[in-house]
Amino acid sequence: MDRIRIVGGSKLNGTIPISGAKNAALPLMIAGLLTDETLILDNVPRLADVAQLQRILGNHGVDIMSAGKRPGDHEYQGQTLHISAANIIDTTAPYELVSKMRASFWVIAPLLARMHEAKVSLPGGCAIGTRPVDLLIMALEKLGAELTIDGGYVIAKAPGGLKGAEIDFAKVTVSGTHVALMAATLAKGTTIINNAACEPEIVDVADCLNKMGARISGAGTTTITIEGVAKLNGTRHTVLPDRIETGTYAMAVAMTGGDVQLSGARPELLQAALDVLVEAGATVTPNNDGIRISRNGAGIKPVNVSTAPFPGFPTDLQAQLMALMTTAKGSSHITETIFENRFMHVQELARFGARIHLDGETATIDGTAKLRGAPVMATDLRASVSLVIAGLAAEGETMVNRIYHLDRGFERLEEKLSACGATIERISG
């Protein structure tokens, strides 16, 4: 199993190209099931989750071609995928595929919308309730689907097709909004989604669907209206840049010091996080090529932050901010309001000498003058990269184990960091 070895203490200087957003690429690929024409997606990141979703879509009969590099392409440019779901030969998404990635459950929406049936394993074999699929099921039932749960599978049928409806989400749900949006595009009549998620990735998917012939308005606000259409066509769409990757590298620069251009980043996608970085003592300069981040000489100042749905501070950057605050001059408070169990990185950060106290959903971080390298273990996708950030600033050697979590969401992490002066390498086997 691969590991990452880091020798800390080097400042980061140079340019890091930002990849396409995983959280937009996955639902965009799934949206390819809505049409029998070819959907071409540019700037798709090369990630384990993308490869896994290609396998899942292939199981339904989708042909996916990855275009090769073109003259002038640099190594970090995303891949171009040609997705053709002309013939859906299987409407079942089996447990062994869905269990590896939660987002793959979303195939239920386009399969139901286009084929009027689907049989999809509950994601990860989880009980309905935690990171629930109950909101997704509610949305599909509102659109007229008949759903039963049998043997760990959701069996969905809509014999006459889906019908437009008003969907009221009791709480903001990104996955629920994606599912409702995709399902409603081919439903008869008008669908209104209330309390919709406003994340930029929702807007990106809606933009692509509109290019395919959907009639969606209000994406990016809490009320989205969809006028159902009989058929969608193919189109070409470029995946927006990854705001979580942007924020992660910005925090790595703030942690280590240095000066890095985040090429292709869009500041409006993560303004709340950039504001927190400025408060912590980093210099943030948006420019024509993205965002420049620097911290030269100034110490890291403590901050108090609560995670919140967009446009608030993203839960997916909470672990990275916590790593940054471990060496702040004073005490910081981070409150996690989105997901329970999202403090698994705390005990691993403590191995560096970090001083963190948990009280319910709030972590208090008492800054320490220096961290020391340690062997640590990645526990989930976003937490894993917080250990990399801590390792970059720690004295001595850090070994990050179980890095397959990192490969799910960060494209060529060690290459991008080593190009800016970090001493970081992947050790295979």
* Catalytic residue selected from 126, 198, 208, 420: 126
Check the annotation: does 134 bind a ligand: yes
Check the annotation: does 355 bind a ligand: no
Listed in sequence order, the residues at least 6 apart from 313 whose beta carbon sits closer than 8 Å to its beta carbon are 272, 273, 276, 305, 306, 307, 321
Instruction: Name the 3-class secondary structure at 130.
Output: coil
Instruction: Name the 3-class secondary structure at 29.
Output: helix
Torsion on CA atoms 174, 180, 186, 190, rounded to nearest 10: -120
Give φ, ψ of 92 to 5 degrees: -105, 130
Distances (CA, A) of 154 to 72, 107, 116, 125, 135: 46, 12, 14, 11, 13
**Using CA atoms, how far apart are residues 352 and 373, in angstroms rounded to an integer?**
6
251 beta partners: none
Listed in sequence order, the residues at least 6 apart from 375 whose beta carbon sits closer than 8 Å to its beta carbon are 351, 398, 399, 401
| Active-site residue flag, 126 | yes
Check the annotation: does 316 bind a ligand: yes
Check the annotation: does 102 bind a ligand: yes
**Using CA atoms, how far apart are residues 219 and 242, in angstroms rounded to an integer?**
18
Going by C-alpha positions, the residue among 2, 5, 4, 6 that lies closest to residue 394 is: 6
**Using CA atoms, how far apart are residues 30 and 408, in angstroms rounded to an integer?**
17
423 beta partners: 7
Check the annotation: does 135 bind a ligand: yes
Check the annotation: does 402 bind a ligand: no
User: Sign of torsion, CA 308 312 316 320?
Assistant: negative
> Which segments within 349-411 are labelled E, that is strand?
355-359, 362-366, 375-377, 397-401
Check the annotation: does 253 bind a ligand: no
Check the annotation: does 43 bind a ligand: no
List the binding residues for phosphoenolpyruvate. Answer: 22-23
List the binding residues for UDP-N-acetyl-alpha-D-glucosamine. Answer: 102, 131-135, 316, 338
Supply the residues annotated as catalytic.
126
List the binding residues. Answer: 22-23, 102, 131-135, 316, 338
